[in-house]
Structures are given as C-alpha cells and as structure tokens.
Amino acid sequence: MISIAVNLLEKFVVPLGGWGVFLAEVLEEVVVPIPSAGILLGSGFLFLKGPLTLALLQTLFFTVVIPAALGLTLGSLVIYALAYKGGKPFLLRYGKWFGVGWEDVEEVNTKFQSGSYDEWSIILARVFPIIPSVLIAVFCGVTRMPVKKYIVLTLIGAFFKALFLGVVGWQVGALYMEYAGVIGKVENLVLLVIILAFGAFVFYRKRKKKVL
C-alpha cells in the first residue's frame, strides 16, 4: 500500500524533479483523484534524504514546496475560472462531477457573511483540510472573488501546506527507511486480513441466498 504509492511517485514524479511535483499537483487539482497530501508527503519522503543541511533546504523549497504551490494554484485556477464564468448554472449542472453542490457553496457563503470566515480562512483551508480544495475554488469562483486576490491567497496557503507536508514526509521517510521491513510485514498482514474478510463475507452471502 505505502510501497505502491511510493513506487508510483518514484516512477512518474521523481525522474522529473520539481517539474514532476508541479505537474502532479496540477493534475490532482483538475482531474486526477489523488490526495494532494499524498503527493506532498511522498515528495518529501523521496526527495529529502539525510540530516538538515543547506542542500536539503534547497531541495525542500525548489523541488517540493515552490513547484507544489505553483502547481496547486494553477490547477485550482482552472476550477475557479469555470465556476467564475459559469456561476450557479454551471455548478448545478456539473457540480456532481466535482463532488460539490450549490448547498455547499451557500453554507460557506453564510459563514463568511456571519463573520465566521474571512480571507485568512481561505489560507488556512488550503493549509489544513478544513474545506475540500475543490469547494474553495468553486466558492471563490461563483462568488466572483477577484482573480488576483484568489491567486495570492491560494499561493500563500499552498506554500505553507507544501512546506508542512514536505517536512513531515521527510521525517516519515527517515522512519520508514529504518523500519521498512517491519512496515512491509504489517501491510501484508493487513492486506491479507482484508482479503480473507471479504472472501468470508462473499461466502456468507452466497450461503444465505441458498438457504433462502
């Protein structure tokens, strides 16, 4: 499971370096259902090796953080632009494809109008998964937030999100390499239990149907 995700990133992202991280974030925001956190954690895991040094910091910022922030911003800008141009009719017609309904936008808008949310909330929502990324882009587009303001807020939030998750990925990577054997055995055991449980469930359902 973890090893499969790591292998995919090694195959498609690592060879391209910062461009790989950038493209992965663009695709994740627009079309590919891959969690952004997974890309950033995996990038920190794979690109950042060893103790804290100047070289590691350069890799962190120029291979992981900045490319990821730019990619996330550009990718989300596509959804923002569609929502900005299409408004409510676009969301009512195509919102299901993004997992966002008009009621979701109204709920966020109510919180903004009541003073519960402000511009800082947009930044924090980018850093932490308080609100789904696609909902932020759709909400800002439908409510006609100025594009420059949207880009700045998204870029700031994406930068700190990438920084935080990149560092976490670096630390997780160090632990994973140390305990890779144990983690692999645990993963295989969990996978085996899931397969056996599913098989038992199918067998039980078939027997129940025969009895009936």
Judgement on whether residues 99 and 203 belong to the same structural domain of the protein: no
The pTM of this model reads 0.72
Between 78 and 193, the higher pLDDT residue: 78
Q: Are 53 and 178 contacting, i.e. CB atoms less than 8 angstroms apart?
A: no
**pLDDT band at residue 118 under the 50/70/90 scheme:** low
pLDDT surpassing 50 at residue 180 = no
The string of pLDDT tens digits covering residues 45-84 is: 889 888 889 999 999 999 999 999 999 999 999 989 988 8
Say what the pLDDT of residue 122 is.
81
Judgement on whether residues 99 and 186 belong to the same structural domain of the protein: no
Tell which phi-psi region holds residue 17, choosing left (phi > 0), alpha (psi between -120 and 50) or beta. Answer: left
Judgement on whether residues 100 and 22 belong to the same structural domain of the protein: yes
Judgement on whether residues 186 and 86 belong to the same structural domain of the protein: no
Judgement on whether residues 119 and 53 belong to the same structural domain of the protein: yes
Please give the tally of structural domains in the chain: 2
Domain residue limits at 165: 2-178
Rounded CA-CA distance 37/114 in Å is: 30
**pLDDT band at residue 187 under the 50/70/90 scheme:** very low
